[in-house]
Amino acid sequence: MKVILSTIALCALFDIGAARECACTFTGWQHYAEGEGNTGTAYTVDSVGSWVNVQSNTISSLRVDGPCDLRVSTANDGAAPLSHVYTEGTYNYPIATGNDNINSVILECEETTMEPSAMPTTEPTRDCDLLHIDEFLLDCSTEWANAGNVMEVVYNATAANSQSIVQIADSVADATASISTNANNIVTATSSATTNAADITALQNKVEVLEDMLDRMSVHSAANAAAPMTYAHAGAWNVDEPAGMGDGAWNGVTVTGKDLGIVVLAVINIVMIAMMVIACRRSGGRTKYHPVAVGSDMEPINA
């Protein structure tokens, strides 16, 4: 008995088994609606509740007479229905569903509502217990299940993208730190270059002093070229006289101004080499730069 009562309630809710009666007519014109110009060939349908095939790909204007809703299809027998609904009235070219593309039509009685009560009701008039819509959709609707799968895919893709964004943020932070370190190294290298430049300037000044000494020594060497001097000399030293070696080893060896200049040049070269070694050791540190790289694992969302 309970099952029978539930079935009766559902039939009453959805109007199952008791087709609503109404008188309606569909008129379709080849060109313009009646009274708007050349109508061309006219087609009429007065059947309600079922799809009716009409002259294919011809209708450009239409009219609905009576309390009906009109739906159209671009294929025979309603195989490709369009979502737009025409209510009672005249629709002249061009119409919302397109022109010369209607192949079948269906007239359906408009939904009627109960007359409102004179006084407002204090309780809800909708009884949700009559139909468990959630169970109905889960068990009977394939589109509902597909929508749930799409939502799950979108959620997973969003979560993956969130993780990728976090990883990219970490990579950016590492890159920023590396850039800061490299900037400090560049400052250090610039300071070392400045110090080296100062050392080079000091060396240049010393070389100029040594060159001046060589120039002055070359003058004395030219003056003493005709009279070589020796280191062995009795009594007071005279640069204009030959200087012989003292008794013992190297007796008879004389040193001229030219020989003395060669010895001075050798000493200068040794001093310059020593100064260059000291300068190179002071600025010998190398600056290492860290590699900087930014990657992305973001994947597009395919809904």
Task: pLDDT band for 300, please (50, 70, 90 cuts).
Answer: low
For residues 35-47, average pLDDT: 91
Task: pLDDT band for 8, please (50, 70, 90 cuts).
Answer: very low
Mean pLDDT (the chain, rounded) = 77
Instruction: Write out pLDDT tens, residues 77-107.
Output: 999 999 999 999 999 999 999 889 999 999 9
Radius of gyration of the chain measured on its C-alpha atoms: 55
Q: Kindly list the domain boundaries of the chain, sorted by start residue.
A: 2-110, 158-282
CA dihedral 271, 276, 279, 280 (to 10 degrees): -150
* Stronger pLDDT, 299 or 186, i.e. the higher one: 186
H/E element holding 142? helix 142-223
Query: Which of 83, 45, 35, 81 lies closest to 66, judged by CA?
Result: 45
Instruction: Write out pLDDT tens, residues 177-190.
Output: 889 888 888 988 88
Residue 101: both structure tokens together = 């593309």
Superfamily name with CATH number, domain 2-110: Crystallins (2.60.20.10)
